[in-house]
Amino acid sequence: MSAVLVEQREHVLVIVLNRPEAMNSVNAEVSAGVGEALERAEADPEIRAVVLTGAGERAFCAGADLKALSRGESILAPGHEDWNLAGYVRHPISKPTIAAVNGFALGGGTELVLASDLAVAADTATFGLPEVARGLFAAAGGAFRLPEQLPRKVAMEMILTGEPITAARALELGLINRVVPAAEVLDAALALAGRITENAPLAVQASKRVALGLLDGKLADDAAWDQTNREIVAVAQTADMREGAVAFAQKRKPNWQAR
């Protein structure tokens, strides 16, 4: 079974993270499948919006596949590592993207939402960046995008404590656009996408490029990514990072050493 399902519905391309048994966590197959779907959407004039969602009822996306990482496997798309997590978080396109958050979206799941233009969430969804509790940090754009999209002190509390927020709170803060019953998430996202596709497609795409500073398929955020990459390389070599992984596996509280 494919780890990513892709379906075109009129002018909307629906991308489904299809690993419900693994909480739709991201491995290399997911990153390649999503990234290729975005390339298709960008190239096809008949596709005017993209909806990203997860299979199943529990999770939108649980972030990186930790089992794959523990085996030493890359979770990035082969040959397109620059697309970053899920082939999505550093892969901007001119077509509007909508996250249909069907369940919890912690860590990388929240980073997918941050990388989307719009978001519709189930009333059961939760959002957060818990990486600091594991000896890491949100290195797929979360550490710099959350303060851009939320009030700074609220974002800093989420980043530094790792505590999650509910869908209702995310709506209040402007992280998402709609909260609906879980069974209605995809339909609500498709309705929002459909409203967008009623407008002139080239004007919509130009509006997005100007709003986001998107030029030649790139955003003006290279400095933030460069710092993120330097910091995660350093943090990944610490004893605390290893302790965080072991403590998580052993279901105990970590013993941090600040080294």
Task: Cite the beta strand spans of the chain per DSSP E.
Answer: 4-9, 12-17, 49-54, 97-101, 105-106, 118-122, 126-128, 165-166, 178-180
Catalytic positions are 111, 131
Q: How high is the pLDDT of residue 215?
A: 86
- pLDDT at site 159: 98
Q: What is the pLDDT of residue 52?
A: 99
What is the structure's pLDDT at 42?
98
pLDDT per residue of the chain (259 residues) written in tens, 0 to 9: 899 999 999 999 999 999 999 999 999 999 999 999 999 999 999 999 999 999 999 999 999 988 888 788 899 999 999 999 999 999 999 999 999 999 999 999 999 999 999 999 999 999 999 999 988 999 999 999 999 999 999 999 999 999 999 999 999 999 999 999 999 999 999 999 999 999 999 999 999 999 999 888 888 888 899 999 999 999 989 999 888 888 877 889 999 999 9
- Rounded to the nearest 5 degrees, what angle is found at the Cα of 56, between the Cα atoms of 169 and 92? 65
Domains of the chain: 1-182+200-259 (3.90.226.10)
- Give me the pLDDT at residue 68, please: 85
pTM over 0.85: yes
Distance between CA 27 and CA 98 in Å, rounded?
A: 21
Amino acid at 131: E
CA distances from 242 to 60, 184, 236 (A): 27, 40, 8
Token look-up 């909307």 returns: 12
